[in-house]
Structure 1
Amino acid sequence: MGKRPSARVIAVGGGKGGVGKSIIASNLAIAMAQAGNRVILVDADLGAANLHTLFGVDGPRTSIQTLLEHEVDTLEAATTPTAVRNLRLVAGMGAVPGAANINHAQKQKVLRHIRSLDADVVVVDVGAGVSYNVLDFFDLARLRLVVMTPQLTSVQNAYSFTKAAVLRALRHAASDPGEVSLLEASTSTRETARVEALLAKVRAESPAFATRLEKVLSGFGAQIVGNQVFEAKDAGIFHAISRMMGDFLSIRAPVLGHVRASRRVHDSVTRRRPLLVDDPGDECARAFHRMAEALLLAEVDEPMRPAVAVAGERDGARPDDGQTDEELPAEPGLYMRRHERHPVSWTARLEGPGGGAYVQVREVSLGGAGIEANEPLPVAVGDERTLVFDDLPDRPALPGVVRYVNARHSRVGLEFLCEGELPARIVADARH
């Protein structure tokens, strides 16, 4: 008999509580179940479990706690049916003293059982904060959702949570104490605010280890979900943080979607009836269905890898990096877009004092262009360059200044130094 396919595991996190993480997790799980998938929703918010309440379930008889207390042999046996067809729930541990700080053996047992659940999709609602236990539940998944609201404090918390999760994932890639020490030494200074700088330090000592770390980053699988959005323009901050994560954390974290602030969502919590059950035609419900469809279609090539403990860590401890109240590494306004961007695929030449290089223009706007090259470009933020559009009639040339560089991905953001007819012509060509 063939091996049972692994479930598609989706983790939902976001730093501190209060951003609607459990509402996002529960409604996405419902949307995927309504699409015909066998879904199990796991409440891994140890010590503050409340998912069962959102489904109107009082005092579930089985939970993660019953597994740890050996009352059931498998997490499968600890699932609770819900009123939604195809959806089962694994309740959390509730207000049990010390629940948030389960020991290493207990954590590994829960992680192992989550990985073996018989389902098409497993959605894991992780806890708040950046303890190692929280980060390891988040690291369990190949698809990781970071939930935030447009408020600056929420954005800061979500960025710090993601940074801690990235560093934790990198640490799991260390295969021996020497690599752990090298990674810790490389993250001990402010010079490594950018993960690219950390990689450079590691690469100088161990190229093979650096290659493994790059693979972890390229497959990190983070996506941003915005919540409690009052006006459409407020969603721009999510895209800005996505670009900031690419710049400083060297990961791709596109915006999966956002959910508008809604009285109906608020009332669904009070009624203990999920939005997608009572108001399936609501605008927010449609947003959940769109995000669920995208998650089901997302390519997940690599199998899940177990979270590996690191010697000397205290159970439930917090990492030294990634405190949820730390400042953002840059002003978000620097990453906000002032003009509409238009995707293109043009060949151009980026020219400067030392010569030029052929590049691919990926997007243009009235204010600038995003370009890529096959190799890292010899430019730095603040450098002035001229972009010559070889694919366009008369090969227009626009002077600009470099505002963004991601050397690892050979990507550069160029702000045009001229306004008026020439940028408008470029945008007009992009629209056609």
Structure 2
Amino acid sequence: MIFFHQDGLQFAETVRGDSGSRILFLRELWKKQTSRGSKVADIVRGGSFRINQASGGADSIRYEMAKIKPQVIAVAGGKGGVGKSLFASMLSICLASFGRRTVAIDMDFNGANLYGYLNINDFTGSLNSFWGNKSHSLVDMVQNTQFPKLDAIPFRSDLFDPSTLKSWQQRRFLREMRKLNAEFVIVDIGSASEEFSYKVFLNADIRLVLSTSDMFSVLNTFSFIRSALYFGIRHYFRESPAVHQVLEECGQLIDGKLVKPLDRMRKCLPATVRREFITGFWQNFRPKIVLNGVRPTDSLDDFKLLGPVVQDLLDVDLDYWGQVRFDLNLREAVLQRRPDQYFRSFGKASSDVFRMVVRRLLAPVAQKEVAPVGHRPLWKFEPETGCSADKVHCRSNCLLYPSCSSRGAGNECLRIEQQPFSKAH
């Protein structure tokens, strides 16, 4: 079952069941459509209802929904141990708990451990089998989890050599990833030490980069963003030697001035290539930064400089998505391999992830910020001190609004702040 955004989502969930009232509704719809000479009622975006009259006068209802491509979210980082796999698993569980069909893919070549955070012990279907050509479809590798709407594709990095991947295998993975029966696909690519990891990161619709507040993590995050940017430019303009020559000069001192990629390409490239470069790649490269594992005693001075430094040296603007605070209860749940306990207590980390999903992923499309052409807003870093400083207000177009017992447009969302996660959907 493929869910759609906004109205399509609500309607698809309404007509999905087999209750008598819904059948009567479809029968009335059938009568109206057949009276007009139509046998197909195209009332759901991307799909149709075909209602055929079977023998004995009974109506058989067949629901067809055209497949839509899932939204791919890549979770990466420049340093190991910053909590990428745990964050990816929590993000997947949270989306699935909202009724959004989600598939989590572990693609960390350095140390795949997403299966541990989701407590998956069955490796019958995995990326190892897919890249071992045991199946040509990534759908066959999907494993069920203990969460109803969440599936996963595990990976054993200790049994796989990424250097053996062929170009056609990489292209097949990117193609099959878009065919998964899900609304969201979460890909944990780790610290992206391989070129193929950068390809997956750049191919994603939402590119998340996790960092902690310490100086080394911030430096590694900058290095990852720079490497992903340069790799993307080389791959996008692989048939343009002039672009590769410009990249070789970036970061060097020429006439006492630091060579910046965007300034250099504006001066050296032809007008047609420059226009394609800026509109086709540069404006679409905008990583989302998540500050993970924040403690009250942490100094955020180094992290605050990440945005200005990236903008100054790489001419790239970053989006600050929010923070995930350190939580001892979450650590205990991980040690016990109890993913069902990640959101049970609704502690600091779980509430931060929950709030991030509601604001960043489940928000209506109409409310997404669209910057004017040629305008790129600056890095906006606003440290969050707690729930009281970061409220989510109730809105009538919220996905939970129709069934919410605490709804009240304009008021603070009581379910996010007070109730446990198990009762928040």
Query: TM-score under structure 1 normalisation?
Result: 0.64
1:34 aligns with 2:102: no
1:210 aligns with 2:274: yes
SS of 2:209's equivalent in the other structure is: strand
1:199: Cα distance to partner?
A: 2.3
Counterpart residue number, 2:182: 119
Give the counterpart letter for 2:154 in structure 1. A
Q: Which moved more, 1:111-120 or 1:166-175?
A: 166-175
Q: How does 1:354-369 map to 2 (within 5 A)?
A: none
Q: 1:278 to 1:294 in 2, by over 3 A?
A: closer
Counterpart residue number, 1:365: none
Structure 1, residues 256-279: CA drift from partner, whole Å, max 9, x if none? 111112212222221112276452
Counterpart residue number, 1:25: 88
Which of 25, 47, 52 aligns to 2:115? It is 52
Counterpart residue number, 1:228: 293
Task: Point out the structure with the larger helix share.
Answer: 2
Q: How does 1:150-169 map to 2 (within 5 A)?
A: 150-169=213-232
1:293: Cα distance to partner?
A: 2.0
Counterpart residue number, 2:324: 259
Counterpart residue number, 1:242: 307
Instruction: Determine the C-alpha separation between the residues in 2 that align with 1:125 and 1:412.
Output: 25
1:180: Cα distance to partner?
A: 4.4
Q: Note if contact 2:247-2:261 (Cα within 8 Å) is conserved in structure 1.
A: no
1:97: Cα distance to partner?
A: 4.5
Counterpart residue number, 1:334: none
SS of 2:159's equivalent in the other structure is: coil
Q: How does 1:54-203 map to 2 (within 5 A)?
A: 54-99=117-162, 102-174=165-237, 176-187=239-250, 189-190=252-253, 197-203=260-266
Q: Note if contact 1:47-1:100 (Cα within 8 Å) is conserved in structure 2.
A: no
Instruction: Determine the C-alpha separation between the residues in 2 that align with 1:194 and 1:251.
Output: 19
Structure 1, residues 317-364: CA drift from partner, whole Å, max 9, x if none? xxxxxxxxxxxxxxxxxxxxxxxxxxxxxxxxxxxxxxxxxxxxxxxx
1:55: Cα distance to partner?
A: 1.5
Q: Which moved more, 1:90-99 or 1:231-240?
A: 231-240
Instruction: Determine the C-alpha separation between the residues in 2 that align with 1:298 and 1:136.
Output: 27
Counterpart residue number, 1:417: none
Q: How does 1:337-376 map to 2 (within 5 A)?
A: none
Task: Point out the structure with the larger strand share.
Answer: 1
Query: TM-score under structure 2 normalisation?
Result: 0.65
Give the counterpart letter for 1:200 in structure 2. D
Q: Which moved more, 1:96-105 or 1:46-55?
A: 96-105
Q: Note if contact 1:46-1:100 (Cα within 8 Å) is conserved in structure 2.
A: no
Q: 5+ residue gaps in structure 2?
A: 1-45, 48-65, 367-372, 381-425
Identity of aligned residues (%): 25
Q: 1:188 to 1:32 in 2, by over 3 A?
A: same
1:189: Cα distance to partner?
A: 2.9
Structure 1, residues 148-184: CA drift from partner, whole Å, max 9, x if none? 1111111111110011111122223216243443443
1:82: Cα distance to partner?
A: 0.8
1:193: Cα distance to partner?
A: 12
Q: Note if contact 2:82-2:211 (Cα within 8 Å) is conserved in structure 1.
A: yes
1:299: Cα distance to partner?
A: 8.7
Q: Note if contact 1:196-1:249 (Cα within 8 Å) is conserved in structure 2.
A: no
SS of 2:106's equivalent in the other structure is: strand
Instruction: Determine the C-alpha separation between the residues in 2 that align with 1:192 and 1:137.
Output: 37
Q: 1:7 to 1:178 in 2, by over 3 A?
A: same
SS of 2:353's equivalent in the other structure is: helix
Q: Note if contact 1:39-1:122 (Cα within 8 Å) is conserved in structure 2.
A: yes
Structure 1, residues 274-298: CA drift from partner, whole Å, max 9, x if none? 2764525212111001111233147
Q: 5+ residue gaps in structure 1?
A: 302-373, 376-407, 414-432
Q: 1:136 to 1:182 in 2, by over 3 A?
A: same
Q: Which moved more, 1:64-73 or 1:18-27?
A: 64-73
Q: Which moved more, 1:122-131 or 1:10-19?
A: 122-131
Instruction: Determine the C-alpha separation between the residues in 1 that align with 2:111 and 2:171.
Output: 20
Q: How does 1:316-355 map to 2 (within 5 A)?
A: none
Q: How does 1:257-296 map to 2 (within 5 A)?
A: 257-274=322-339, 277=342, 279-296=344-361
SS of 2:172's equivalent in the other structure is: helix
Q: 1:271 to 1:250 in 2, by over 3 A?
A: same
Give the counterpart letter for 2:183 in structure 1. D
SS of 1:23's equivalent in the other structure is: helix
Q: Note if contact 1:93-1:99 (Cα within 8 Å) is conserved in structure 2.
A: no
Give the counterpart letter for 1:77 in structure 2. D
Q: Note if contact 1:47-1:97 (Cα within 8 Å) is conserved in structure 2.
A: no
Q: Note if contact 1:242-1:253 (Cα within 8 Å) is conserved in structure 2.
A: yes
Q: Note if contact 2:294-2:324 (Cα within 8 Å) is conserved in structure 1.
A: yes
Q: 1:236 to 1:7 in 2, by over 3 A?
A: farther
The number of aligned residues is: 310
Instruction: Determine the C-alpha separation between the residues in 1 that align with 2:341 and 2:322.
Output: 17
Give the counterpart letter for 1:85 in structure 2. P
Instruction: Determine the C-alpha separation between the residues in 2 that align with 1:270 and 1:87.
Output: 21
Q: Note if contact 1:13-1:127 (Cα within 8 Å) is conserved in structure 2.
A: yes
Counterpart residue number, 2:29: none
Structure 1, residues 15-54: CA drift from partner, whole Å, max 9, x if none? 1211111011110111111112111111011252111111
1:63: Cα distance to partner?
A: 0.5
